[in-house]
Structure 1
Amino acid sequence: MKTVLVTGAGGYIGTILVPKLLAKGYAVKALDRYFFGTDKLAAHENLTIIHEDARRMKPEYFAEVDAVIDLVAISNDPSGELFKNATFEINHISRVHTAALAKKLGVKRYILPSSCSLYGFQDQDVIVDETSATNPLSNYAKANEKAELGVLPLADDSFTVTVIRQATVYGYSPRMRFDLAINGMAYGAWETGIIPLMRDGTQWRPFVHVDDTTDVMCLLLEAEVVLVNREIFNVGSIENNYQLGKLAEDIAKALPRDIKIEWYGDPDHRSYRVNFDKIEKALNWKAKWTGADGALEVFEQLESGTLIKSEQTITLDWYKELIKWHKIIKNAELHGGIFDIL
């Protein structure tokens, strides 16, 4: 049985990836701070929970590990702007350190889930691929690029390093996020029958379903080394390059109720499209989901009552809530407790 160490295992992508790995017969070491709780991962005989900060990795975490999937990150641009230092410490420095430690301790494969946000924004007629110049604009994107530049040189004949640049992820997850575009559209449609959309809807964005990108991670664990070592792959599909206005229309048609699109704000001219030919040809992989499929999935989960919106489903709001309560508890605590003391 092969063992995979997954950092950020309790997050939006990790809570889809870990059960998938277990179902495929892997043993999993799931490392996370678990800001969103450990209940998102069901107990399993081959699952080991490691409650740790990725900035404090210990050699023993890598014992008998065959591969690392380094998902850990401060997620999204708003969080990256508010927590700039932590974003660079976690998304960049900790991941390079994890990769270097994994190599030193005999791990064979390392996968870095990065982001298509590295491409920044491009001219309307440009479709970027893995050889295109990057243009990271946010702290989140800049930290991801620094991580890529730090881990790729570690690759050699005995240590396989692969980077995947994920399009904007969508779809249902046990650690749900409604601060992602398609998920947010689905929630707005379910709650009010309205999809709010910034003018003028001609902007291009690439997307990928959480089930598709985790399938790629599983595929990379077993792919021939010669195909994936030292390689960068964009993860998504040409069909999931959407103009946002058309995306909203597709979602409105797919949902089982009358949906309106409500425009707001000044025209948003930020726009970029991504080419995904490399991964489709090299690994014979194709995305299964469309944006409309993913929105319907989220809508149905909301409709059934199995999914609700809370502060935990808006990443930055939950980070702020944790900080608020940390201060309150620190001020109230004395002698190791509140009412019961040591």
Structure 2
Amino acid sequence: MNNRSVLVTGAHGYLGSVLMGELDSRGYRTVGVDNGLMSDVRVPLRHGSYVDADIRKCDDWAPILDEVDAVVHLAAIVGDPACGLDEDLAWQTNYLATVSLTEACRRHGVRDFFFASTCSNYGLSFGEAAGLHTALHPQSVYAESKIYSEHHLLSNAGEGFRPRILRLSTLYGLSPRMRFDLSINVMTAHAVNRGEITVNGGFQWRPFLHVRDAAEAFIRAIEARPASPLSVWNCGSAAQNHRIIDIAEIIAAEVQGAQILRREADADSRDYLVDFAGIGEDLGFTPSRGVVEEVRLLAQAVGSGRFGSCAGTEYSNNETLRALMRTVHTDSAFPNNPTAAIRLAHQNG
């Protein structure tokens, strides 16, 4: 059994559920922290446990930090649409909770802190591959909240606190907590279930990364011993920088009969290529899974009926949060404060 203990926030999520399973299979002692707001998926563990807790109230559970060697901070309102539903909640969860957790880790002597950021921070790369010194052009509250969190972590770096930041590419692939609000996943689902792949614009560039490769990158970071007290990595590979239309064509080639529908008027403003040289050099990380192979697996899983129509609220961060907000908005005690209402609703189960 591995002697190291790792606490993972957002442990029930799309990436968190995969990472918890991978850490456990390698013998790490794990503690998964999640409030269950977006998901209640719990991967069975041999060497770990779960704690029902809200990262916005880390003082309530901070004593757990005395027993861990490292923290992997994944918990967030993830995605541009979900953050747009309630920007106040997004800032509380994505930024202010990160500040609180940083302070708690410093108080409790947790030196190693690994943060899930996003390549969406670049927003626009103007046709050039964005590296770590490229100017950031966030196009959403989600990206802005991650940038602010990065700044706070790096400003607190020192001998007693060593943050490592992984700017993740857009994730895809099968997970215990499945999502169909991610580009490759939802396009594949629509190809299978509707025979159509809708492409808004199509010539925008995006970097992609399999969710299990993302988990592997965090484990590589945990096990690395870099000389620098702080590190930031773009997490992905040059081979998986794709235009959205390229992804659609890959899916159409794998799903017989699927047609591509182009909508130029609804083109997404985000358009960025990313340079991933650093993570290969520092961590020896190269993704082992590719888009074509995973599209085949996704298509098989969707075609088998495993996820129904793939339109269930539980498969979308945006729709999960929207449904909860519709419920709590009926409470006259909080007619204009969805953040407070969501918190109360969660506390009341």
Alpha carbons 1:182, 1:294 under 8 Å: kept:
no
Q: Give the match for residue 203 of structure 1.
A: 204
Structure 1 residues 328 and 82, CA gap change in structure 2 (3 angstroms): closer
Range that drifts further, 40-49 or 275-284 = 40-49
Q: Give the match for residue 29 of structure 1.
A: 31
Q: Give the match for residue 173 of structure 1.
A: 175
Secondary structure, aligned partner of 2:67: coil
User: TM-score, normalised to structure 1's length?
Assistant: 0.90
Alpha carbons 2:188, 2:295 under 8 Å: kept:
yes
Give the alignment of 1:9-20 within 5 angstroms: 9-20=11-22
Q: Which sections of structure 2, spanning at least 5 residues, go unmatched?
A: 334-349
Tell me whether 1:101 sits opposite 2:104 in the alignment: yes
Q: Give the match for residue 188 of structure 1.
A: 190
CA-CA distance at 1:317 after TM superposition: 1.1
- For residues 58-100 of structure 1, what are the alpha-carbon distances to aligned partners after superposition, in whole Å with 9 as ceiling and x for unaligned? 3212121100000010111111122111111111111122122
Q: Give the match for residue 290 of structure 1.
A: 290
Range that drifts further, 89-98 or 152-161 = 152-161
Aligned counterpart for 2:140 among listed residues 130, 138, 141: 138
Task: For 1:266, give the aligned amino acid.
Answer: A
Q: How far apart, in 2, do the equivalents of 1:190 and 1:113 lie?
A: 31
Q: Give the match for residue 86 of structure 1.
A: 89
Q: How far apart, in 1, do the equivalents of 2:277 and 2:254 lie?
A: 27
Alpha carbons 1:254, 1:293 under 8 Å: kept:
no
Alpha carbons 1:8, 1:71 under 8 Å: kept:
yes
Runs of 4+ in 1 over 6 A off after TM superposition: none
- Give the total of aligned pairs: 326
Q: Give the match for residue 53 of structure 1.
A: 54
Aligned counterpart for 2:321 among listed residues 319, 322, 338: 319
CA-CA distance at 1:297 after TM superposition: 2.1
Range that drifts further, 21-30 or 260-269 = 260-269
Alpha carbons 2:39, 2:314 under 8 Å: kept:
no
CA-CA distance at 1:226 after TM superposition: 1.3
Q: Which sections of structure 1, spanning at least 5 residues, go unmatched?
A: 332-342
Tell me whether 1:226 sits opposite 2:227 in the alignment: yes
Q: Give the match for residue 272 of structure 1.
A: 272
Alpha carbons 2:226, 2:282 under 8 Å: kept:
no
CA-CA distance at 1:230 after TM superposition: 1.1
Secondary structure, aligned partner of 1:28: strand
Q: Give the match for residue 41 of structure 1.
A: 42
Alpha carbons 1:172, 1:298 under 8 Å: kept:
yes
Structure 1 residues 20 and 265, CA gap change in structure 2 (3 angstroms): same
Secondary structure, aligned partner of 1:217: helix
Structure 1 residues 82 and 328, CA gap change in structure 2 (3 angstroms): closer
Q: How far apart, in 1, do the equivalents of 2:266 and 2:37 lie?
A: 36
Task: For 1:138, give the aligned amino acid.
Answer: S
User: TM-score, normalised to structure 2's length?
Assistant: 0.88
Q: How far apart, in 2, do the equivalents of 1:52 and 1:312 lie?
A: 20
Task: For 1:246, give the aligned amino acid.
Answer: D
Q: How far apart, in 2, do the equivalents of 1:134 and 1:270 lie?
A: 12
